[in-house]
Amino acid sequence: MLEKKIIDPTDVKQLELYIHIPFCARKCNYCDFLSFPVKEQDHAEYVEKLCREIALGAEPASENREVSSVFIGGGTPSLIDPRHIVHIMDEVRDHFSVRKDAEITIECNPASTLRYKFSLYKEAGINRLSLGLQSANDSELRMLGRIHAFDDFLKCFQNARMEGFSNINVDLMNDIPGQTLKSWNETLKHVLMLKPEHVSIYNLIVEEGTPFMKMYKDGTLALPDEETASEIDEITRVLTGKYGYNRYEVSNYAKPGYECRHNYGYWSNVSYLGFGLGAASYFSGKRWSNTRDFRRYMELDFSDDMKAGFSLLRTDEQILSKEDQMEEFMFLGLRRIEGISEVEFKQRFQMDIMSVFGSELEKYVSQGFIIHDGYRFRFSDRGMDVSNVILSQFLIDR
């Protein structure tokens, strides 16, 4: 075990950790994430390999840094034996300095999270759950290819509360095939009446290589039209406000004080390390991803590969140029409801924001998609609805 270094509290930088569990019971019809079903024996072997990566990958990255959040995602992390999760978190604490108030999240599928698992998650120090519901309508769940019904979610949510979890996110999806204004209104009401602390609401994106893309190309995917999608967004605005949720990012709503600290770090230039198959990292001005090849990952000798600079594990390594960093400042920062600060841009890049992105900002301010209050730029409600299109315009000619 690596000896923990004593951290000077006056010289500490935040660090976030993402831990990827790529296994699932069955691929959903919309899913292009790195996930797949395997035998249960592979779960244990993968976790041992993952813990080895954590142990060796921590040494060059943990000095003068405290872990402020950990996110265990997938795939379906709740699919594996919860004792594996305890083991992973023990490994994290052995090799990183984790803040006492760190936010530690695990993603859960309602069909695979029995009550006893929540008890072990508590033992592992997990204090935030993210439950993947997507819809409260069982026919919509079947269309999405989900393995749970709404009743499974209700039992899961109740069990989590009974085990003492007081910070729960619910993932929902809109603009899905067959969804109507009535069904979305009912889904959102059913969830908000349960009073979760956080709700993430994502628009369906039809991705290449998924069953939905095949249906889309065949003309058999009945997606809501633009007018219905716009009305769905309006229902979301009205109901989340009525039930006391603040929208703090394009797709995220929270009760006051329950914003997801981990994701907020992604949008705010906080360094993070990803461990596990395909996990992404951003550290010391560099971005990279781990290999997505499961066999290669499982065959790696991390001791040897660490000496070689993780050359066999890491792919797509990129040293971010100043232009890259300015672009990311815009399209990550603008996702937040608070938007971006002109002063912060100048402090970071020693340039005036208007000299770099003036034409784009002026265009969208004049069209009412972006609001400028003299110090900050942020999306209007109209801008939020088309944010993905607008964000793609903040590119620097090279």
> Residue 246's closest CA among 197, 204, 187?
197
Report, as an integer, the average pLDDT of 283-288. 92
| Encoded amino acid at 11, one letter | D
pLDDT digits (tens, 9 = 90+) for 330-345: 999 999 999 999 999 9
Report, as an integer, the average pLDDT of 293-315. 89
Beta carbons of 17 and 92 less than 8 angstroms apart: yes
Beta carbons of 36 and 23 less than 8 angstroms apart: yes
* One-character DSSP codes across 20-46: EE-B-SS--TT--SS-B---HHHHHHH
pLDDT digits (tens, 9 = 90+) for 59-88: 766 677 899 999 999 999 999 999 999 999
Q: Take residue 41 and report the two structure tokens written for it.
A: 């024996």
Return the number of other C-beta atoms located less than 10 Å from residue 375's C-beta: 10
Cα separation of 58 and 291, whole Å?
Answer: 18
Report, as an integer, the average pLDDT of 356-379. 96
pLDDT digits (tens, 9 = 90+) for 180-205: 999 999 999 999 999 999 999 999 99
Q: Domains in the chain, ordered, with CATH?
A: 13-266 (3.20.20.70), 322-391 (1.10.10.920)
Query: What's the chain's length in residues?
Result: 398
Name the average pLDDT for the chain. Answer: 92
The model scores a pTM over 0.75: yes
pLDDT digits (tens, 9 = 90+) for 156-168: 999 999 999 999 9
Report, as an integer, the average pLDDT of 135-152. 96
pLDDT above 70 (res 314): yes
pLDDT at 4: 38
